[in-house]
């Protein structure tokens, strides 16, 4: 298959499993396939038996829509968007992510470029990202290894952000603690507000802007070196 493939997946109810691996074709193990005749690198897969399973080339673009069920993506994929109502979502590695879910846990291993996540209810974890924009109504947020700007906001739950490189941060929780870890030796410009206790072991400067708010909960600004990372 020549060119970067784009796969569109539509699932009513059932699990979606995608494996990206060293291959040149797309293998649909479960699901009903339709191919765009004007562009053979674009295919659509829908569920007929309640589950979808496919193997795709590394770097494949994915567009997934799911009503309910789990979404599991392993191996490095390209730009990926997922829109689902309820269920667990686990993505090992993507070039770029745009995720919208009403209810369910979201776990991201790595995102090379931008990672945008909007969740109504459920915890969100991002282990590594170029940048992150995460909004949750009810649930905790944990973002680590970020190399670019971060916005992490939740109404109910904790927020934890660990920067791998100096970058602007906006972190907010209405009900829950907020913890920001900055790279050793960096000096952020601080704008912090909390209705609870405040702990800060970094010296203020102008390396990047750090805005953090915890309306009801503790607020911690720490150096990654001091925290033992």
DSSP secondary structure, 74-96, as one string? EEEEEEEEEEEEES-EEEEEEEE
Counting runs of H as helices and runs of E as strands, what totals does the chain give? 0, 21
Position 227 in a domain: yes
In a domain, 15, yes or no: no
**CA gap 64, 52 in Å, rounded:** 11
Which domain covers residue 224, as residue numbers?
Answer: 105-229
What total of structural domains would you count in the chain? 1
The model's pTM:
0.92
**Is residue 22 in a domain?**
no
Q: Which two tokens stand for residue 158?
A: 């904790």
Residue 99 lies in a domain: no
189-214 pLDDT, tens digit per residue, is 999 999 999 999 999 999 999 999 99
**pLDDT tens digit string along 140-197?**
999 999 999 999 999 999 999 999 999 999 999 999 999 999 999 999 999 999 999 9
Q: Is 39 a member of any domain?
A: no
Gap between the Cα atoms of 84 and 105, Å rounded:
11
Apex 214 CA angle, 211 and 218, nearest 5: 115
46 in any annotated domain: no
Q: With respect to residue 116, please indicate whether it lies within any of the assigned structural domains.
A: yes
Express each pLDDT in 104-118 by its tens digit: 999 999 999 999 999
In a domain, 140, yes or no: yes
Tokens of 38: 């004007």
């Amino acid at each position: 298959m020549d060119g970067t493939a784009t796969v569109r997946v539509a699932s009513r109810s059932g699990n979606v499993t995608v494996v990206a691996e060293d291959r040149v074709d797309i293998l649909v193990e479960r699901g009903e396939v339709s191919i765009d005749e004007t562009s053979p690198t674009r295919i659509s897969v829908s569920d007929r038996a309640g589950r979808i399973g496919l193997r795709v080339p590394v770097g494949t673009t994915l567009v997934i829509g799911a009503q309910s069920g789990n979404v599991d993506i392993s191996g490095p994929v390209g730009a990926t968007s997922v829109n689902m109502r309820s269920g667990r979502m686990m993505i090992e590695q993507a070039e770029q992510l745009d995720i919208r879910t009403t209810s369910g846990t979201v776990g991201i291993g790595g995102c090379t470029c931008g990672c945008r996540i909007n969740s109504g209810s459920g915890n969100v974890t991002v282990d590594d990202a170029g940048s992150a924009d995460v909004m949750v109504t009810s649930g905790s947020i944990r973002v680590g290894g970020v190399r670019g700007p971060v916005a992490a906001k939740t109404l109910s739950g904790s927020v934890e952000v660990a920067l791998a490189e100096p970058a602007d941060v906006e972190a907010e929780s209405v009900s829950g603690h907020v913890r920001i870890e900055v790279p050793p030796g960096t000096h952020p410009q601080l704008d912090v507000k909390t209705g609870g206790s405040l702990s800060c072991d970094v010296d203020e400067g102008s390396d990047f802007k750090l805005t953090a708010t915890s309306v009801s909960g503790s607020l911690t600004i720490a150096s990654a070196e001091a925290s033992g990372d």
